[in-house]
Amino acid sequence: MVRITTARAVAVVTAVASPLMVVAGLILYAGLPLAWRPAVPATPDFAAGLAIPPVGAFLVFHRPRLIMAWLMCGGGFGAAIDHFFGMMTYRLAADGELVLAGYVRYVSVAGWFVAGFSLAVLLPLLSPDGRLPSRRWRAVVALGLLATFTELFRAFTRPAPITTRLPALIPNPLAIEALRPYQAVISQVAWICIYAAVVLALLSLALRFRHADPVTRRQIAWPLVALTGYVVFLLVGERVWFLAVMWAALVPVAIAFSVMRYRLYGIDTIVSRTVVAGGIIAVVSGIYFGVGGLAGLVVSGRHQIGGLVAALFAGAFFQPLRRTFQRLVDRAMYGQVGDPRLLADRLTQEVSSADPANALSSVVTVLRDGLAVQGAAIEVVGGRPAYVESGHVGDAPRRIPLVWHGETVGRLLLGPPGPRRFAAAHDERVIGTLAPYAADVAHAVRMAADLQRSRHQILTAREEERRRLRRDLHDGLGQTLSTMAMTINMARSSLRKSPDSADTLLRDLRTGMDAVSGDIRQLVYGLRPPALDDLGLAGAVRALAAEGPPPTLVETSGDLATLPAAVEVAAYRIVQEALTNVRRHARAAHAVITLDRADALRLRVTDDGAGLPDRLRAGVGLHSMRERAAELGGTCTTSPAPGGGTVVEAVLPL
């Protein structure tokens, strides 16, 4: 615990002292005479000393034993020393303290040595976990240390130059004159080895990225991108010192994201948008200035017209350029799976070629491959649930709702990233393109399941109706007719011997025939109410309304004579059941039945009775009305009437 506290205290000291030294160095630079100011006002050490130690201290607080955190603290502190004491050297020399300035320069060079070796060589080699990729990379550490130390030794012992752009020479107290002929060779060899060590260190990070698992790849991508830019600016030299300084400030942030695995924004998204934005700016700027210059020549100096023409051309090219750059970046980062347009085409082909039963499996397979995840699944909700999975989505998949015309029809489940260069699973453009296709298929699967269920219900109902008819015919009419046949035989036998007995048997036969006629009438009525064939729907409903209290008014509109038979039966039965409920429970004084045919048949039964109870329990009657409407794809609802009473309203498609 004491060691951790001490470590954090040291980290705080470097985090506070380094930026202060950088600011102090900047103040010294501002106060220098123009003749004594360095040719480059700031180097990457300026940004490194300002930004890296605070981030390193932040990492020390969270992971005190992390080597990378201490490299950032030490390397950033060395960069601050280099910047501050470098400016102090010029300040002392400008004040005439040339010998003291020569000694102070040693401190600046030592800071450069610590910063260069720690940040440019060790940091890439040890990213992101603080360990070398393998023992073979120790040679790169040795090369970087030897080359950096050689340049340090040369800087400590180099003789003072013969000529200088400064007003006076700053002497070197430790100069070795015998090495003057070899200074250029030593410096050239040292810097070649330094650059080689830096590039090899960056190569080690790239190799780690190539062989890492998907999660580690996203972690390594942060320092890889940041350090690559830093090395590029380092190799270019002082000509891009401003960009090098700005980029060096991004390195610690990238490493912090990597070490802490804090991926609020995906590195692939940042790289993609950066490349797209940079490409658009470059091309649009070229178009603007090119067209502006051409228009300026054509219109003979009318710069306002030329600027307007250039702006119009640049604006016209903006959107096509953005789409083109985005597709190129997607193809570069994700391959073919990163282009939403190609994925949508493939998804369409797979769905069109697959049979309906396997369409969902085809969609899931395309989604898994296209989004570069270890597993994908679609869960259909509503009706009969369905679940299809390809690969393994894991215990905590990402859940994306599938919405079809405002209705949630399922969920898309995405597992962890798969072995791609970057995982496209978090690319919202890809998901936004593919999710509607998946929603369409999920809705189609649900509709197919509903259709299958409806077919099953129809078959079941048909078989139940056949069973009922068979039972009624066999147990009812069949038994009665058999009895009547026996009665006829008995009457024939007793006709001559006992006419009175025959007459009694024939009277019984007549009664039995009346019963058979009633059974047949009841059986036929169960199949289809005869009133519909005799009176039509409107007349049959009026006959129902006239059967008893309360007084019921029937209103009709539209052509009710050419309705489908199934619609007529359903409407008649719903009205019949609604009137039965009114007469049994409503205690109503009046009722109104409305039949309206337009694009569908709409019927309404309204009464002014007691209304619905507070807790409505749907009985057999209400359930029967809803089922009859649902069989035709319609709806039937029961609700309170505006002025009191109850309203039964049904909509039956034609």
Q: What is the Cα–Cα distance from 69 to 11, expressed in whole angstroms?
A: 9
**Does a structural domain hold residue 452?**
no
Looking at per-residue pLDDT, the higher value among 216 and 169 belongs to 169
**Does a structural domain hold residue 206?**
yes
Whole-number pLDDT of residue 328: 62
Weakest mean pLDDT among 307-311, 376-380, 576-580: 307-311
**Does a structural domain hold residue 112?**
yes
Q: Residue 335 carries which DSSP code?
A: G
276, pLDDT greater than 60: no
- The pLDDT confidence band at residue 632, using thresholds 50, 70 and 90, is confident
359, pLDDT greater than 60: yes
Tell me: do 31 and 166 sit in the same domain: yes
566, pLDDT greater than 50: yes
Tell me: do 322 and 348 sit in the same domain: no
Tell me: do 344 and 322 sit in the same domain: no
Q: In whole numbers, what is the pLDDT of the chain averaged over residues? A: 77
**Does a structural domain hold residue 441?**
yes
Q: What is the Cα–Cα distance from 555 to 575, expressed in whole angstroms?
A: 13
| E-assigned strand segments in 518-645 | 552-557, 591-597, 600-607, 635-640
Which residue(s) pair with 404 in the sheet?
407
> Rg (Cα) of the chain, in Å, rounded?
45
**Does a structural domain hold residue 412?**
yes
Looking at per-residue pLDDT, the higher value among 131 and 522 belongs to 131
- The pLDDT confidence band at residue 210, using thresholds 50, 70 and 90, is confident
What interhelical angle do 67-94 and 98-115 show, nearest 10?
160
Tell me: do 414 and 494 sit in the same domain: no
Whole-number pLDDT of residue 270: 46
C-beta separation of 15 from 54 below 8 A: yes
Q: Which domain covers residue 434, as residue numbers?
A: 338-447
7, pLDDT greater than 70: yes
305, pLDDT greater than 60: no
pLDDT, one tens digit per residue, over 363-396 is 788 778 777 778 888 888 766 667 888 888 888 8
pLDDT, one tens digit per residue, over 176-205 is 888 888 888 988 999 899 889 988 988 888
The last residue of a domain, from among 302, 334, 366: 334
C-beta separation of 54 from 249 below 8 A: no
Whole-number pLDDT of residue 280: 45
Tell me: do 288 and 225 sit in the same domain: no
- The pLDDT confidence band at residue 420, using thresholds 50, 70 and 90, is low
Count of structural domains within the chain: 5
- The single residue listed with the structure tokens 């396997």 is 358
Tell me: do 224 and 255 sit in the same domain: yes
Weakest mean pLDDT among 97-101, 334-338, 480-484, 610-614: 334-338
Q: What is the Cα–Cα distance from 221 to 513, expressed in whole angstroms?
A: 94
Whole-number pLDDT of residue 25: 87
What interhelical angle do 183-211 and 138-157 show, nearest 10?
150
pLDDT, one tens digit per residue, over 290-299 is 545 555 545 4
Whole-number pLDDT of residue 260: 56
**Does a structural domain hold residue 453?**
no
Among 73, 70, 63, which residue's Cα sits nearest to residue 15?
A: 73
**Does a structural domain hold residue 390?**
yes
- The pLDDT confidence band at residue 556, using thresholds 50, 70 and 90, is very high
Q: What is the Cα–Cα distance from 144 to 193, expressed in whole angstroms?
A: 7
458, with CB counted inside 10 A (0-12, 13-18, 19+), is exposed
Q: What is the Cα–Cα distance from 118 to 251, expressed in whole angstroms?
A: 13
Average pLDDT over residues 124-148: 87
Residues in the chain: 654
Whole-number pLDDT of residue 262: 40
**Does a structural domain hold residue 578?**
yes
Edge-to-edge strands, sheet with 398-404: 386-391, 375-380, 407-414, 398-404
The last residue of a domain, from among 527, 558, 587: 527
**What is the residue type of 464?**
E
Whole-number pLDDT of residue 564: 87
Tell me: do 357 and 276 sit in the same domain: no
* Contacts for 407 with CB less than 8 Å, ≥ 6 apart: 443
CATH number at residue 573: 3.30.565.10
pLDDT, one tens digit per residue, over 35-45 is 888 877 677 77
Which residue(s) pair with 602 in the sheet?
596, 651
Looking at per-residue pLDDT, the higher value among 497 and 326 belongs to 497
The last residue of a domain, from among 506, 527, 548: 527
Q: 398 by DSSP, 3-state: which?
A: strand
Tell me: do 10 and 79 sit in the same domain: yes
Q: What is the Cα–Cα distance from 249 to 252, expressed in whole angstroms?
A: 7
Four-residue CA torsion sign, 85, 107, 235, 209: negative
Helices (H), 372-498: 428-471, 479-494
Entry pTM: 0.47
Tell me: do 205 and 243 sit in the same domain: yes
